[in-house]
């Protein structure tokens, strides 16, 4: 089983309060994403890596993440915590909402993306294949709350 972004990121002690310290600066993010988009393992349809199965708009933003092919490495520099979530994480929240707004993920890919996004933001470790109603509800409610915050 391939570990989730959150599982990998939890190799470094963190709490909700310092979670934003683990996002890379915009320049590093853009460079990582550009490398991914040129890779043979990148699926432009979902923006997903076929090798690690991660959504690259999310993974490329997180400092302790690295490419499974070794094309870019994790960043160990201390990142100043931003006042808010990075724009691409906000964009992902706004984008995924169209597939969740009925109260139910429209398909398995949307459910997986919702859970992975929730795990990344809240530093949790819900399995992306879970069918636990309580787990899915927690992820849904968290994304819904953020959607309302950023869609004002």
The token pair at 74 is 């994790």
- pLDDT reported for residue 94: 94
The token pair at 60 is 């490329």
Q: What is the pLDDT along the chain (152 residues), one digit of tens a residue?
A: 344 444 444 443 344 444 445 778 888 899 999 999 999 999 988 899 998 888 999 889 888 888 989 999 887 654 443 457 888 899 999 999 999 999 989 999 999 999 999 888 877 778 888 888 878 888 898 899 899 988 87
Delimit the domains of the chain by residue range: 5-150
Instruction: Supply the angle between the helices 87-97 and 108-122 in degrees, to the nearest 10.
Output: 150
- pLDDT reported for residue 92: 92
- pLDDT reported for residue 17: 42
By the 8 A CB rule, do 64 and 8 touch? yes
- pLDDT reported for residue 76: 63
- pLDDT reported for residue 133: 81
- pLDDT reported for residue 63: 82
By the 8 A CB rule, do 42 and 56 touch? yes
Cβ-proximal residues to 22 (8 Å cutoff; 6+ apart), any chain: 9, 12, 14, 62, 63, 64, 79
The neighbouring-strand residues paired with 42 are 49
The token pair at 71 is 């094309």
């Amino acid at each position: 089983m391939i570990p989730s972004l959150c599982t990998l990121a939890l190799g470094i002690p963190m709490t909700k309060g310092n979670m934003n310290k683990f996002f890379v600066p915009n320049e590093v993010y853009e460079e990582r994403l550009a490398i991914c988009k040129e890779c043979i393992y990148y699926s432009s349809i979902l923006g997903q890596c076929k090798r690690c199965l991660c959504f690259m708009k999310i993974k490329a933003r997180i400092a302790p993440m690295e490419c499974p092919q070794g094309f870019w490495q994790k960043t160990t520099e201390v990142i100043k915590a931003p006042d808010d979530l990075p724009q691409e994480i906000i964009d992902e929240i706004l984008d995924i909402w169209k597939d969740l707004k009925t109260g139910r993920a429209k398909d398995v890919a949307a459910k997986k993306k919702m859970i992975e996004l929730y795990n990344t933001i809240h530093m949790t470790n819900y399995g992306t294949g879970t069918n636990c109603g309580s787990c899915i509800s927690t992820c849904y409610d968290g994304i819904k709350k953020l959607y309302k915050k950023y869609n004002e």
